[in-house]
Amino acid sequence: MGLETVRRLAGSILKAGESRVKFVDAVRAKEALTRDDVRSLIQEGVIVVEQKKGIGRAKARFKQSRTHAGRRRGPGSTKGAKYAVVSRKTRWVLKVRSQRNLLKLLKPSLNDGEFRRLYKMVKGNFFRSKRHLITFAKENNLISGGKK
């Protein structure tokens, strides 16, 4: 029987692709006439199957260690749209929290009733930043003593 036929039969017996079937002794493999002959050659080790090639994780582990060390985290590596990473709402929540904490610090130096007004303005997204809040308070003479 031809080698290609033996290779095909061995592949189907071993449940492997034909390209992975290798012959240790091609002359003996050529002498096989039946499927049983091919089975016996496999048993004897004349026909063997090459091991499948795996995909190693060494590169992935190395890349992960670099990422943990702070590499590969620049703005160029960020995927997604502007608000995909941090949503508009989350951004607003973070801003409002920081401004409210600042207001709490300013409360003793604020005039009567101004704390509540500024608090509502913070909620309404009036101020761009903490600096904007302080500037607004100073310009409108809301802070007594003019300190932070």
Task: Tell me the CATH number at 40.
Answer: 1.10.1650.10
Asked if residue 49 lies in contact with residue 17, where contact means CB atoms within 8 angstroms, the answer is no
Whether the pLDDT of residue 147 is over 90: the answer is no
Asked if the model's pLDDT at residue 57 lies above 80, the reply is: yes
Tokens matching residue 76: 């160029």
Residues 89 and 41 in one domain: no
Is 54 inside any structural domain? no
Domain that holds residue 99: 82-139
Res. 145: pLDDT tops 80? no
Q: Is residue 65 part of a domain?
A: no
Position 89 in a domain = yes
Q: What is the pTM of this model?
A: 0.51
CA-based end-to-end distance of the chain = 95
Is 87 found in the same domain as 45?
A: no
Looking at residue 147, the DSSP 8-state letter turns out to be -
Q: Which tens digit of pLDDT belongs to each residue from 75-107? A: 898 888 889 989 999 999 999 999 999 999 999
Q: Please check whether residue 18 lies inside any domain of the structure.
A: yes
Of 16-25, 46-55, 137-146, the range with the lowest mean pLDDT is 137-146
> Based on the structure, what is the number of domains in the chain?
2
Mean pLDDT of 139-146: 78
47: which strand partners?
23
Would residue 58 count as lying in a domain?
no
Question: Does residue 88 share a domain with residue 40?
Answer: no
Whether residue 23 is contained in a domain is answered as: yes
Same domain for 42 and 86, yes or no, is no
**Interior/surface letters 119-138, b for 16+ CB within 10 angstroms, e for the rest:** eeebeeeebeebeebbebbe
Residue 76: inside a domain = no
Q: Answer yes or no: is 61 within a domain.
A: no
